[in-house]
Structure 1
Amino acid sequence: MKNEEFIKTVWEYYKKNKRAMPWREDISPYSIFISEVMLQQTQVARVLAAYPLFKSQFPSFKELAEAHTAILLAAWQGMGYNRRALYLKAAAGIVCTKYEGVLPEDRVLLDNLPGIGYATACSIAAFAFNTPVVFIETNIRRVFVHHFFSDSDEISDSDILLLVEKTLDKKNPREWYWALMDYGAYPTTQIDNPNKKSKHYVKQKKFEGSVRQARGAILKYLLKRPYSKEELEKIYTDDERLFTALEQLEKEGFIASKKGRYNIK
């Protein structure tokens, strides 16, 4: 498919099927910042459900930076990967102290914030500041693999990025990336999951029976009240995962142990 035909196809689909999302209506840097971190490894439907309440509880970088961990984690319930909530709080603290409460526009400075990384820094720059950065994420990769690499395997992201740059609408990157992402969510582009052809494709680890599942369960209990290790052992019978999860959560600053009882730090 030629680039011009591809661009036309994406825009035509978007004009008829663009998705309504609160962070597209409010494109303030703060709204984009929290929504893009929420969207890391979490389905859009779950973020849509959690975003309004989360933003109302923490309406600015200041409130987020000053949030108590227990209240923050309670608001984050159902989003998965709780570490991202702590990263959000830490990043908000840096924005307040280092940048006087104003999110920097520079992609490199964004990348240096805790828990952001290159792709999220680019998406924030594109959506909050309309900066014509070049990046890919799951839906974008799916679109380009589907249209340009249907007969290929072991596709490199570097090859995809060349096409992303060539087709980028530099005058309106914000909406172009929205269009790409919406088109990537279109069922026709997901047949047999084109992303499996990417050499960077990593199958998500099974959640059931994982340490990550144990971590989430422990935090859910500790949000209600402190528990001793003995109490947790009675509730959570998989000792190996329990001990690993407790060790990780304490090391990462989620929980603390005092007088034999664990609580949210």
Structure 2
Amino acid sequence: MIGVIGSLDPNQNERERRLLELTREQGSTPEAIRLFRDLILSHYRTHGRDLPWRRTTDPYHILVSEIMLQQTQVERVAVRYPEFLERFPDFESLADAPQSEVLLAWQGMGYNRRAIALQKTARRVADDYGGNLPADVEALATLPGIGKATAAAICAYAFNMPVVYIETNIRRTFIHFFFQDREDVRDDEILPLVEQALDRGNPREWYSALMDYGTVLKKRTANPNRRSASYTKQSRFEGSDRQVRGKILALVLEEGAVTEDEVVTRVSEDAERVRRILGDLEKEGFIAESEGRYTCR
């Protein structure tokens, strides 16, 4: 179940207003940081979302959730996450599964490269770390599909480590409170504040609270992330190559083997475009061609 986050209650609205006034006048003072932390945690403890990956500290489960949450809405992940874990309950089962089964279980999530990267990571963990995910940001960041931010998130949620990192919701929350009149806010300006505000006694709860507050802000304010120097508007999905790639891969998974002509007919796309995307999918290791028929690897 996902708890619903709406507007702040009157008391929290007043606390936020006072905090905004304080940071506008005095900046990120120790008092402002303290009030900020109190506000974020108070909201979380009253309105925090009940998400399935928050009920576990199992490193494998946390890894799966963090990879799924890259560029996919929480509501969709909340549905597919338990289904995926039921099919692949641990590193060994994921590492040993045929790639086609992993991709089939991933359908509906988008960005299918993540599924392949996740399986490659499971194999690395099984082979190089004895099936135990390393509790180390640098080591995690060397694994497929895991950058520094995802590695830090895994360390915070799986191992309760007081790491410092930034992602979309964290960025949004800090820009809203501490960079009210600024444009082109750089992450290297935000990170020192993330470190100052970090609840080192319980980083797992703290980062969950920041995530949820960022979700609130997205729904009720003009997106503060538009004032970030790293902000880029997501490209349109409808009619994009990404959408067509998903349709083609789903078709191959469903049918087992298809010809180029069958793909053109079934996805209702231009033959040249289909041929180009089939070639890309083959180069990237999603599908293989033999005697004019395409199958999943």
1:136 counterpart = 2:166: yes
1:182 counterpart = 2:212: yes
Q: Paired residue for 1:261?
A: 293
List structure 1 segments (4+ residues) > 6 angstroms apart after TM superposition: none
Paired with 1:8 and 1:244, the residues of 2 have a C-alpha distance of 53
Deviation at 1:13, TM superposition (A): 0.5
Q: Paired residue for 1:202?
A: 232
The gaps in structure 2 that reach 5 residues or longer are 1-22, 24-31
Q: Paired residue for 1:227?
A: 258
Q: TM-score, normalised on structure 1?
A: 0.97
Deviation at 1:238, TM superposition (A): 2.3
Q: Paired residue for 2:72?
A: 42
Deviation at 1:244, TM superposition (A): 2.5
RMSD value, Cα: 1.1
Paired with 1:171 and 1:253, the residues of 2 have a C-alpha distance of 43
Q: Greater Rg, structure 1 or structure 2?
A: 2
Deviations 1:176-231 (A, max 9, x none): 00110011111477511110000101111111111111110001110122110111
Deviation at 1:80, TM superposition (A): 0.6
Q: Paired residue for 1:150?
A: 180
Q: Residue 173 of structure 2 contacts residue 217 of structure 2 at CA under 8 Å; is this kept in 1?
A: no
Q: Which amino acid aligns with 1:238?
A: D
Paired with 1:98 and 1:232, the residues of 2 have a C-alpha distance of 40
Paired with 1:24 and 1:251, the residues of 2 have a C-alpha distance of 37
2:205 alignment partner, SS class: helix
Q: Paired residue for 2:28?
A: none
Q: TM-score, normalised on structure 2?
A: 0.87
Paired with 2:265 and 2:51, the residues of 1 have a C-alpha distance of 43
Deviations 1:96-127 (A, max 9, x none): 00001000001101000001111100000111
Q: Which amino acid aligns with 1:199?
A: A
The gaps in structure 1 that reach 5 residues or longer are none
Q: Paired residue for 2:193?
A: 163
Paired with 1:234 and 1:186, the residues of 2 have a C-alpha distance of 44
Q: Residue 106 of structure 1 contacts residue 125 of structure 1 at CA under 8 Å; is this kept in 2?
A: yes
Change (3 A) 1:190 1:86: farther
Q: Percent identical across equivalent pairs?
A: 50
Q: Residue 84 of structure 2 contacts residue 106 of structure 2 at CA under 8 Å; is this kept in 1?
A: yes
Q: Paired residue for 1:25?
A: 55
Paired with 2:265 and 2:122, the residues of 1 have a C-alpha distance of 38
Paired with 1:35 and 1:75, the residues of 2 have a C-alpha distance of 14
1:104 counterpart = 2:128: no
Deviations 1:37-91 (A, max 9, x none): 0000101000001011100000000001111112111111111100000000000
2:124 alignment partner, SS class: helix
Q: Which amino acid aligns with 2:237?
A: F
Paired with 1:241 and 1:39, the residues of 2 have a C-alpha distance of 29
Q: Residue 111 of structure 1 contacts residue 118 of structure 1 at CA under 8 Å; is this kept in 2?
A: yes
Deviations 1:221-256 (A, max 9, x none): 101221101111223322343223211110111000
Count of residues in correspondence between the two structures: 265
